[in-house]
């Protein structure tokens, strides 16, 4: 009984905080849908030419950070859940989009110097890193002055990325792919492929009719 009451209290608190966030941030560059809820006020940094769109029934846990730079855009689809400490960044002219009913685990990072597209119903575990840019390093001078190379990342619907997985620029995973814990994905795979390792290799195909 006590646990149920405590859960209800936190749910009400999250809805109230979500309503306050909507009042504070909605308008112009930021659109927040119905029934937004959050455990703490997210850190939102958005440049004047950038956009943030949050769908209906989205839940943020504690300490979520959203950064939209330059003329980029972040879209979070309806019924998504973003766990605590998640950081979603878009830059340049990129579009970072999470499809309907995605789940993102704690402290995962989306580094969107180029496009990141996540299909609906995809599960991303905690401490995952999706990286669309890499430093240039072959030229003269300091590496930090040589700029970046960018390439997009795309995950199809109904994928599952295990804890501590890293996805490199240019990777496309077809619908239904599964990535094992601590894997480093540096190439693309077709639908319903189970991969793992450093670098990730195909282990098998899922037994599915999709």
Question: For the domain bounded by 2-205, which CATH number is listed?
Answer: 2.160.10.10
Please report the sign of the dihedral spanned by the C-alpha atoms of residue 11, residue 19, residue 97, residue 156.
positive
Q: Among candidates 87, 67, 81, which has minimal Cα distance to 122?
A: 81
User: pLDDT for 33-82, tens place per residue?
Assistant: 999 999 999 999 999 999 999 999 999 999 999 999 999 999 999 999 99
* Other residues' Cβ atoms within 10 Å of the Cβ of residue 28: 9
| Average pLDDT score over residue span 146-155 | 90
Least confident range of 16-25, 54-63, 163-172, 196-205: 16-25
For 132-142, write each residue's pLDDT tens digit.
Answer: 998 777 877 88
Say which residues have a Cβ less than 8 Å from residue 111's Cβ, sequence separation at least 6: 89, 129, 130, 131, 132, 133
* Distance separating alpha carbons of residues 111 and 91, to the nearest angstrom: 9
What global pTM score does this model have?
A: 0.91
Decide if pLDDT at 2 tops 50. Answer: no
Q: Using alpha carbons, list the distances in angstroms from residue 86 to 83, 123, 136, 138, 159.
A: 6, 14, 27, 32, 19
Where b means 16+ CB within 10 Å and e means fewer, 171-201 reads bebbbbbbbbeebbbeeebebbbbbbeeebe
Among 9, 54, 60, 65, CA closest to 39: 60
Instruction: Evaluate if residue 8 carries a pLDDT over 60.
Output: no
Average pLDDT over residues 101-105: 98
Is 77 in contact with 96 (CB distance < 8 Å)? no
Position 208 scores a pLDDT of: 78
Token readout for 135 is 């430093």
For residues 108-112, give the mean pLDDT: 97
Let me know: does 151 contact 113? Beta carbons within 8 Å: no
- Pick the more confident residue, 12 or 1: 12
Residue 4 predicted with pLDDT over 80? no
Query: What's the pLDDT at 145?
Result: 80
Q: Which residue ranges make up each domain of the chain?
A: 2-205
Please give the pLDDT value at position 10.
55
- State yes or no: pLDDT of 7 exceeds 70: no
Confidence bin at 157 (pLDDT 50/70/90): very high
pLDDT given at position 134 = 83
Quick check: 39 and 61 in contact, CB under 8 A? yes
């Amino acid at each position: 009984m006590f646990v149920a009451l405590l859960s209800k209290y936190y749910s009400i608190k999250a809805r109230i905080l979500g309503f306050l966030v909507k009042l504070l941030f909605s308008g112009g560059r930021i659109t927040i849908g119905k029934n937004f809820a959050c455990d703490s006020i997210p850190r939102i940094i958005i440049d004047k030419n950038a956009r943030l769109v949050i769908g209906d029934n989205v839940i943020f846990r504690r300490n979520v950070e959203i950064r939209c730079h330059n003329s980029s855009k972040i879209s979070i689809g309806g019924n998504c859940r973003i766990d605590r400490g998640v950081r979603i960044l878009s830059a340049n002219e990129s579009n970072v989009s999470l499809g309907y009913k995605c789940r993102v685990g704690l402290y995962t990072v989306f580094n969107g110097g180029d496009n990141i597209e996540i299909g609906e119903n995809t599960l991303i575990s905690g401490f995952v890193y999706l990286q669309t840019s890499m430093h240039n390093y072959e030229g003269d001078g300091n590496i930090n002055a040589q700029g970046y190379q960018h390439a997009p990342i795309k995950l199809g619907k109904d994928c599952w990325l295990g804890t501590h997985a890293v996805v490199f620029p240019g990777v496309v995973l077809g619908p239904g792919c599964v990535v094992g814990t601590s894997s480093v994905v540096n190439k693309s795979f077709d639908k319903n492929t189970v991969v793992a390792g450093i670098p990730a290799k195909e282990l098998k195909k899922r037994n599915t009719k999709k």
